[in-house]
A and B are shown apart, each in its own frame.
Chain A
Amino acid sequence: EAQVTQNPRYLITVTGKKLTVTCSQNMNHEYMSWYRQDPGLGLRQIYYSMNVEVTDKGDVPEGYKVSRKEKRNFPLILESPSPNQTSLYFCASSLGHNNEKLFFGSGTQLSVL
């Protein structure tokens, strides 16, 4: 089944403790991206990747890192999480090239205490 898999689904952590949210797609998509969803603000793009080893900042990249060492995986790394990073995070992928349809993962609800 074609899908974008995110883990974990829920995560509670404390300020400063490094964490990684994984994202994997099995559709051979070139494009992958990360969004955070906050009430009243919609979806805001954190980082995106056009292909392996090609990443770029979205609108709200501060405090986040990403890597794209393989085509199927695009982990989101929070080196030193802070409470303002408490949010619902979505990974998404698409074929790329020309603004194709985004396929979203099931989301990760992160709480930073």
Chain B
Amino acid sequence: GENVEQHPSTLSVQEGDSAVIKCTYSDSASNYFPWYKQELGKRPQLIIDIRSNVGEKKDQRIAVTLNKTAKHFSLHITETQPEDSAVYFCAASKGNFNKFYFGSGTKLNVKP
């Protein structure tokens, strides 16, 4: 089955700096890559996703890039703010099977 690895496990940045979280996947058939944000004590919520026919997607301060050849995708957060502090999960899925494989999570701490 699919194996998704996520790095780093923790990331601490100063407010205003950029943050990058990276994920790799093993199954070249995976074609959908969402990112979820989970604030402390809350449920995960989708913040951005990308499909395999696109190399990059941006939504305000958040962007995701996908390199299908290398089988890795990354989340980029610019101009970080304290409210960006949370755990971020990447995931991979393929076809219509709706099996999702999540990374182990990255705890982002944005220091004011």
Which residues on A are within 8 Å of B, measured CB to CB?
31, 33, 35, 40-45, 48, 50, 58-59, 90, 94, 96-99, 101-102, 104-107
Contact = CB atoms under 8 A, between A and B. Distances in A.
B92 to A, nearest CB: 10
Contacts, number: 59
Contacts of A42: 6, 89, 102-105
A102 B34 contact: yes
Contacts of B98: 31, 33, 48, 50, 94, 96, 99
Chain B interface: which size bin?
Answer: 20 to 34
6 contacts: A42-B104, A58-B99, A99-B100, A101-B34, A102-B44, A104-B44
B102 to A, nearest CB: 4
B100 A45 contact: yes
